[in-house]
Each structure stands twice: as C-alpha cells, then as structure tokens.
Amino acid sequence: MNISFVDNRASHEAVHTIAFHGGVAAPATRSVPEEVAIAFSYGGSSHAVMMATPADLVDFAVGFSLTEGLIDAVSQIEAIEIVQDEMGIDVQIALVEDVEEKLRARRRHMMGPVGCGLCGIESLEQAVRSVRPVLSRDLTVTPHDIARAVASLADQQQLNHKTRAVHGAGFFVPGSGLVALREDVGRHNALDKLCGAVVASGVSGGSGAVTVTSRLSIEMIQKAGFLGSPILIAISAPTAYAIRTAEEAGITMIAVARGEDFEIFTHPHRVVF
C-alpha cells in the first residue's frame, strides 16, 4: 500500500477561558480537541464526510473501509493519499480494480430511479446489516482483566488528558495489556481508527477485547464484529438493539464497567470468576 501524507494539523489547541471556581473568576487556559471535516473518496468520488479529529487518518481510512464493508482485506487498498485544504481533509483511497468497479456499480445503483418508495432500501440494509459471527471461542477474561482494560484505557488517553473531550477505543489482550489505542471526538471514529490499527499491525482481532469509553449502539457492535473481537467492554450502557445483535453474533458484551464493577449482557461464558 502506498501512502502519501503530510501530517501538519494538530489534534488539539490551547484556548483562553475564564474559569469560575470556588466563587472566583480568573483567566485560564484549556486544551480543546480539533474537529475538522474528513472526506473519504474512492476512485476520485466522495463516499462519506464526517467530523473527526485529524489524527491517525491512515488507520481511520483502513478501519472505515473494513467496517463499512467496502473491502474485505487491507490488501485491497492500493494507495492512500491525504490531501489537506482550508475546508478540511480529503482522504483519497485507491482500491484494486475489481473492488473499485463493484463500488462504482453500487453508486450507479443508488443514483437510479427516484420516487419508487424503495430508493433508500440499500442505506437501510447497511444500517441494520447483520454482524458476522465471531470465530474465537477460546478467549476469556477475569474481573481483574476487565478492570485493568478500562483503567488502562483511561490512563493512556493522552489527548483526553489534555482536552477531556474525546472518546477512546482500545484493544486489550489478556496477559499483554492494552496493545493499541485510538482517540477521536466521535466514538465511531475512534473505533474505526482502532480497527485499522489492529488490522495493519497483524494482530488477530480474535485475540483481544475491544474496550470503549462510550455507550454501545448497534454500530459499535457491527464494527467490533468486523474486527472479529469476541469481547466488547464499555463504560456505559448498551441499547436494546445492540444487545440483541451481540447475542446473535456470539459477542460477549460487558458494559457499565466502572472500577471493579460491571454487568455482563450477553455470552457470559467468556468471563471467568
């Protein structure tokens, strides 16, 4: 994969505020996360635009392409070029010819006849698409592992330490600890970046637990499922749809994990007491 990228955007900046503490107002300085428009373009055509933190963009591109089902393997990406201008960042992704042609055909289909009442069906199918069943059945965690995963994620979130305004997603391997971590203002973006980092590193998604600093919605389950992680740990609660999806996919969902406390919502056999 060829990568063309000049990283000259900061992920955070210092701003001046007036802080009111203990009944006293005084000038203060606070670091805040940067948020810019990130466009993903395939074959020269824009596919999606989102607001995100301008860091780890190659991981973001790989993870987004995988979790959105645009590619099946990193080898299907030929090149990534990141172009910056005043309006934002365009992540230009070149795919191998057969995959790029399938994407072009999909776009043509989406631009077809209107007014039929069914034109949004592909988007709906993408939104509620099923999660591939996880294959790893050997991975287990202890209550100590769960507490360590959450604590390690909080401790190692460098951008959040400076800003207190970004989500984190980490990959925790029992016996090794947190082996990858990515941050972003968006929880989905942070998880996409993590998926890209884990896949690019060659680490098996089935060897560890995805740990996130957010609630668990259906999209978070889908992304963890694409990575192949059998365990998902979150500090907040899940949605009902996310629970049903995790149950169907064979994913152990551990949520409301704070300190030594947590709740297991699906497939508890992977937690060893």
Length of the chain: 273
Residue 119 known to be catalytic:
no
Which residue is listed with tokens 């996310």?
242
Domain boundaries, the chain: 2-97, 143-270
Let me know: does 136 contact 207? Beta carbons within 8 Å. yes
Let me know: does 194 contact 173? Beta carbons within 8 Å. no
- The superfamily (CATH) of domain 143-270 is Cytidine Deaminase, domain 2 (3.40.140.10)
Rounded Cα–Cα distance for residues 152 and 165 (Å): 18
pLDDT value, residue 117: 42
pLDDT value, residue 8: 65
Query: From the DSSP assignment, how many helices (H) and strands (E) are in the chain?
Result: 8, 13
Let me know: does 11 contact 54? Beta carbons within 8 Å. yes
* Catalytic residue chosen out of the listed positions 116, 117, 138, 269: 116
Number of neighbours of residue 87 by Cβ within 10 angstroms: 9
Reading the block at residue 153, the tokens are 């994620």
Widest Cα–Cα separation across the chain: 65
DSSP 224-256: HHHHT-SEEEESSPBPHHHHHHHHHHT-EEEEE
Chunk the chain into consecutive blocks of 10 residues (it has 273) and report each block's average pLDDT, rounded to whole numbers.
74 85 85 90 90 94 94 95 88 94 76 44 58 84 96 97 96 98 97 97 96 93 94 94 92 92 92 92
Cβ within 8 Å of residue 201, ≥6 positions away = 179, 180
Does domain 2-97 bear CATH number 3.10.20.10?
A: yes
